[in-house]
Chain A
Amino acid sequence: MTTRNFLRMKKWKMTGIIMLLLVITYGSSMVTNFNIWQGVKSVPGTITWIMTNLIPDAEAMANLPKVLSRLWETIVLSVIASTTAAVFAFFFAIFGSKTTQLNRPLAFCTRLIASIFRNIPVVAWALVLVISFGHNVVTGYFALFISTFGTLVRMFVETIDEASADGVEALNATGATYFQMVFKGVLPDTMPQMLSWLFYMIETNIRSATLIGLLTGTGIGYLFDLHYKRLDYGTLGLITLSIIVIVIAIEFTSNKVRRMIL
């Protein structure tokens, strides 16, 4: 194939892909009744609305203690759900990773279980748990735990696969037992990377806790929903601002720690 032909082929291929994407976009807008112009038009309106209505006023500031206590609840839930999920995920990842697996069927099972936990929507877990546990922090905890567990197993398996193949081989050659291999070889190698993933999950969970709170009536999500339905936009602004501040603060600390340990 000459260069000219090759470039022409490439151009046709690109055009084809772009046409296909446009067709799917058009189809999707038809299916969902999404109007792109309506979308573009509502953006400036929303920005002006945010600027004028979402400013916390004196009346909203009276709700500050309530907001802070709910925020604290959300933070505690996110952290403990992430740490406990990480402990379980670590053992699942050890049995699921190619380099440290005991046998293939067990590795396959652990990965399958994690995949199911990860792919069943968080919403489904939250909705089922709320029926049995009621509007309670326990519901929020379990819903966060389940989704974090699924994601962390995937991250941890990838970390172990990448970081420690050579070390495991060397330790096996010296006759180390399985537990020595795991705790002296794999753990020190992968700890910093795993902690980094754990921090990432804590960050993510503070955001998801808002969503889960909306469904299960816990934490800051519950408060947002309450004031949204009351059309109390000042307090809504206060809640949004407090979430922004806390998420950015946690992101900042976790970036700092990550830079120190990696």
Chain B
Amino acid sequence: MTQVSLLQGIHMKNGKIKTRTLTKATVTVRAVIIFLSIFTFVGPFLLKYAAIDWPTAIVYTLDNLKMMFLQPAFNQITFSTAITQILITLSLAFLATILGAVLSFFLAISTAKNLAPASLSNAIIAFNSVIRAVPTVLWVLIFAIVAGLGAVAAVLGMMLHTMAYLTKAYAESFEEIEEGTIEALRAAGANWWHIIFHCVVPQSASYLVSWTFLRFETNYGVAIAMGAAAAAGGIGFELFMSSSFYYDLHEVGMITYCALIVAIVLEVMALQIKKHLTTH
């Protein structure tokens, strides 16, 4: 009896202390892993495959990758065209980011739990999750029916997703602001806009900048995809033309390298901005 009371809270089995205890979380983790593993093994059998000649396809792929990465060359377009097209892609990404960021700011101050009423906040969250549920390319194509394919449809479609993403990020950083600061300002007689511009914005400015730039980096990738899938222009469109119309994999490789360099530069910049802001 005394031994039991001494060891209260320690689970024993065959005289050994059990180091693993089953909590709700570990059970869920295991169940999820088992489910996903079974699905992964069964899943491939549920799909319909067209006939593939595997050996040929693999040899083709390796051959294609060799043409793409080891022998890149410009044939249909020139180097300066590629630079201009990348500039267009960057501009599309920038416009979508800046317009989305401005709208997100206003939506976020109406979403943050410490600044806005709960009903308004929940309405905006629901609105955003519906917007996010539709893939960007579908938004672009839907806008294109009214506005015509081009920069307007591309920027609007990309802007919607930027807005849904940044509103959440901004609102979360607004919610981290100490309640005391806001209360003090309120007690001093500051109105709502004073609180926003003299307390909320300065305190969360570094987060806002780093989230916005991160989204700009993402939007560059999205803009390439929109150029290819929705013919919205830029380097993605050239990529689509050279692979699906000219079957010129040397050029696909060259364009990919150009796009890759810009993407890596953006990623390094985003990391630097993040590091710079968090050390301050």
Which A residues have a C-beta under 8 Å from some C-beta of B? 21, 24-25, 27-29, 31-36, 38-39, 42-43, 45-46, 49-50, 54, 72-73, 76-77, 79-80, 83-84, 115-116, 119-124, 127-129, 131-138, 191-192, 195, 198, 207-208, 210-211, 214-215, 221, 224, 228, 240, 243-244, 247-248, 251, 257, 260-262
Whether the Cβ atoms of A137 and B133 lie closer than 8 Å is: no
B161 to chain A: closest residue by CB: A207
**A132 touches which one: B64, B98, B236 (CB < 8 A)?**
B64
Q: Tell me the complex Cα distance, A45–B156, Å.
A: 13
Q: Which A residues are in CB contact (< 8 Å) with B171?
A: none
B54 to chain A, nearest CB (A): 9
Q: Which B residues are in CB contact (< 8 Å) with A191?
A: 29
Whether the Cβ atoms of B138 and A35 lie closer than 8 Å is: no
B268 to chain A: closest residue by CB: A115
Q: Tell me the complex Cα distance, A228–B151, Å.
A: 19
16 interchain pairs (CB within 8 A)?
A32-B155, A33-B150, A34-B155, A46-B147, A49-B146, A79-B39, A123-B236, A124-B243, A129-B61, A134-B52, A137-B49, A211-B136, A214-B137, A244-B130, A248-B130, A261-B25
Known contacts A27-B91, A46-B147, A211-B136: A39-B256 contact under CB 8 Å: no
The 6 A-B residue pairs whose C-beta atoms are closest, nearest first, are: A28-B91, A132-B60, A127-B243, A119-B263, A42-B147, A34-B151
Query: Residues of B within 8 Å of A, CB-based: how many?
Result: 77
Known contacts A119-B260, A214-B137: A76-B47 contact under CB 8 Å: yes
Q: Tell me the complex Cα distance, A244–B249, Å.
A: 36
Q: Tell me the complex Cα distance, A122–B43, Å.
A: 23
Q: Which A residues are in CB contact (< 8 Å) with B124?
A: none
A28 to chain B, nearest CB (A): 4
Main secondary structure of the interface of A (DSSP, over half): helix
Known contacts A124-B252, A131-B243, A211-B229: A244-B134 contact under CB 8 Å: yes
Main secondary structure of the interface of B (DSSP, over half): helix
Q: Which B residues are in CB contact (< 8 Å) with A54?
A: 142
Q: Which among B61, B132, B151 has the greatest number of chain A C-beta atoms within 10 A?
A: B151
Whether the Cβ atoms of A243 and B134 lie closer than 8 Å is: yes
Q: Which A residues are in CB contact (< 8 Å) with B185?
A: none
Known contacts A21-B98, A42-B152, A131-B249: A261-B32 contact under CB 8 Å: yes
Q: Which B residues are in CB contact (< 8 Å) with A192?
A: 25, 29
